[in-house]
Structure 1
Amino acid sequence: MNASDRTPADLLRSALTTDPARPLVTFYDDATGERVELSVATFANWVSKTANLLQGDLGAAPGDRLALLLPAHWQTAVWLLACSSVGVHVDIGGDPAGADLVVTGPGTLDAARACRGERLALALRPLGGRFPSPPDGFADYAVEVPGQGDRFAPYEPVDPDAPALTVGGTELTAARIVERARADAAGLGLSGPGTRLLSGRPYDSWDGLSAGLYAPLAAGASVVLCRHLDRLPAEELARRIESERVTGTADGTPGGTA
């Protein structure tokens, strides 16, 4: 990664220029059997489309606050990087009533209706599928995002020292996210391309966000992100670690070594 990178979006751009074909996020949902693997290039394309949706259709601007009510999921990772690209402040599990926008999964629609701004819902179905019918009061992400542009340019430069993330009551700037992610990478055994971290941590804490996205991105590594990992028998977990060429697992994850 480039030493001058100061935002998560900068880290993604550097990864795209270095090795766009390598895996970045491999996602499993052990409740549905879903497996999705996204290369750097594919992930970056989703981020660009989502950032264009956020900036263009939803009218978001740097400094706006977005309540993100989503679990650990590959689409959540896309939203985190899209917000970084625009300069939107992400509040993980934040109060929708105090947010400019809300992005929610199917299980938190009622809470999300408290937002007076734009509301977007994700069905979180395999392969990014849409809702059978859009929830009342929400735009369906799976309907809105495909037609967005594949290239993104922010209307305004993103300030690395502006608030970018609130999680667990702690507010972090974009630059601080990058600094902490780089520091975490070594402790998680991430030393560059070829290192793969398996994480079953939820995205409701810094530790979960770091292991499940930011630290692998900062290290030029990749993550095997698992939702509902507690449903996976130990022998199947061992097979996954082997088949996915995992080099380390986050603590708190069954079989963890980091």
Structure 2
Amino acid sequence: MNSSDRTPADLLRSALSADPARPLVTFYDDATGERVELSVATFANWVAKTANLLQGDLAAEPGDRLALLLPAHWQSAVWLLACSSVGVVADVQGDPAAADLVVTGPDTLERARACRGERVALALRPLGGRFPQAPEGFADYYAVEVPSQGDRFAPFAPVDADAPALAVGGAELTGAQLVARAREDAGALGLVPGSRLLTGRTYDTWEGLSTGLFAPLAAGGSVVLCRHIGQLDADGLAKRVESERVTNTAV
């Protein structure tokens, strides 16, 4: 990664420039058997579409606060980078009533209704399946809103690396602070370019977000993100480590 990168969106751009075809996020849900692998290019395409949705259709502006009520999931990772691309603060598991807009999974719809701004719902079904019927009062992210968005994104205003970018666990980080912490974590985890980090940590703490996205991205590596990993026995975990060519673990 480039030493000049100061926001998560910068890290993604550098990864795209270096090797767009390599895997970036490999996602497992051990409750459903789902496996999804996204290359840097595919992930960046999802981020661009989501950032266009956020900036255009949802009229989000730098400094706006987005309550992100999603579990550890590849689509959650997309939203985190889309927020960084626009300059929106991703408030992970934040209070929807205090947010300008909310993005929610199917299990937190009622909580998300407290938001007075735009509301987006994700079904989080295998293969990106849509809701059988869109929840009332919510835009359906996968089925209706994001596919038609553009594949390239340009912010209306430059993103300030020293402005708040992420809130999680009671702490708030600027883009530059987030990148610096991700780099520190990557070093502590022994990550180098090409590393593949397997993690089963949740996305409601900095440690979970760092191992599940930011540290591998900062190192030029990739993540094997496992939701419901507790359903794997030791033999199953060992087989996954081998099959996914895992070099580091943080479970």
TM-score category, normalised to shorter length:
over 0.9
Are 2:59 and 1:59 aligned?
A: yes
TM-superposed CA distance for 1:129, in Å, is 1.3
Equivalent position SS for 1:36:
strand
Structure 2 match to 1:92? 92
Q: For the residues of structure 1 that align with 2:247 and 2:190, how far apart are their CA atoms?
A: 8
One-letter amino acid of the structure 2 residue matched with residue 144 of structure 1: E
Structure 1 match to 2:147? 146
One-letter amino acid of the structure 2 residue matched with residue 47 of structure 1: V
Structure 2 match to 1:235? 235
Task: Output aligned runs, 1:125-144, within 5 Å.
Answer: 125-142=125-142, 143-144=144-145
Structure 2 match to 1:176? 177
TM-superposed CA distance for 1:137, in Å, is 0.5
Q: For the residues of structure 2 that align with 1:166 and 1:129, how far apart are their CA atoms?
A: 29
TM-superposed CA distance for 1:187, in Å, is 1.3
Q: For the residues of structure 1 that align with 2:43 and 2:127, how far apart are their CA atoms?
A: 13
Structure 2 match to 1:47? 47
Are 2:245 and 1:245 aligned?
A: yes
Structure 2 match to 1:80? 80
Structure 2 match to 1:185? 186
TM-score w.r.t. structure 1 length?
Answer: 0.96
One-letter amino acid of the structure 2 residue matched with residue 62 of structure 1: P
Q: For the residues of structure 2 that align with 1:101 and 1:43, how far apart are their CA atoms?
A: 23
TM-score w.r.t. structure 2 length?
Answer: 0.99
TM-superposed CA distance for 1:225, in Å, is 0.2
Deviations 1:18-57 (A, max 9, x none): 0000000000000000000000000000000000000000
TM-superposed CA distance for 1:128, in Å, is 1.3
Q: For the residues of structure 1 that align with 2:181 and 2:147, how far apart are their CA atoms?
A: 33
One-letter amino acid of the structure 2 residue matched with residue 63 of structure 1: G
Structure 2 match to 1:256? none
One-letter amino acid of the structure 2 residue matched with residue 110 of structure 1: E
TM superposition outliers: structure 1 runs of 4+ over 2 Å: none
Structure 2 match to 1:32? 32
TM-superposed CA distance for 1:168, in Å, is 0.3
Structure 2 match to 1:71? 71
One-letter amino acid of the structure 2 residue matched with residue 53 of structure 1: L
Deviations 1:100-125 (A, max 9, x none): 00000000000000000000000000
Structure 2 match to 1:101? 101
TM-superposed CA distance for 1:206, in Å, is 0.3
Task: Output aligned runs, 1:152-231, within 5 Å.
Answer: 152-193=153-194, 195-231=195-231
| C-alpha RMSD of matched pairs (Å) | 0.5
Structure 1 match to 2:111? 111
Q: For the residues of structure 2 that align with 1:72 and 1:220, how far apart are their CA atoms?
A: 20
Deviations 1:132-158 (A, max 9, x none): 000011000012100000000000100
Deviations 1:165-223 (A, max 9, x none): 01000000000000000000011121112x10000000000000000000000000000
Equivalent position SS for 2:157:
coil
Equivalent position SS for 1:12:
helix
Q: For the residues of structure 1 that align with 2:162 and 2:129, how far apart are their CA atoms?
A: 36
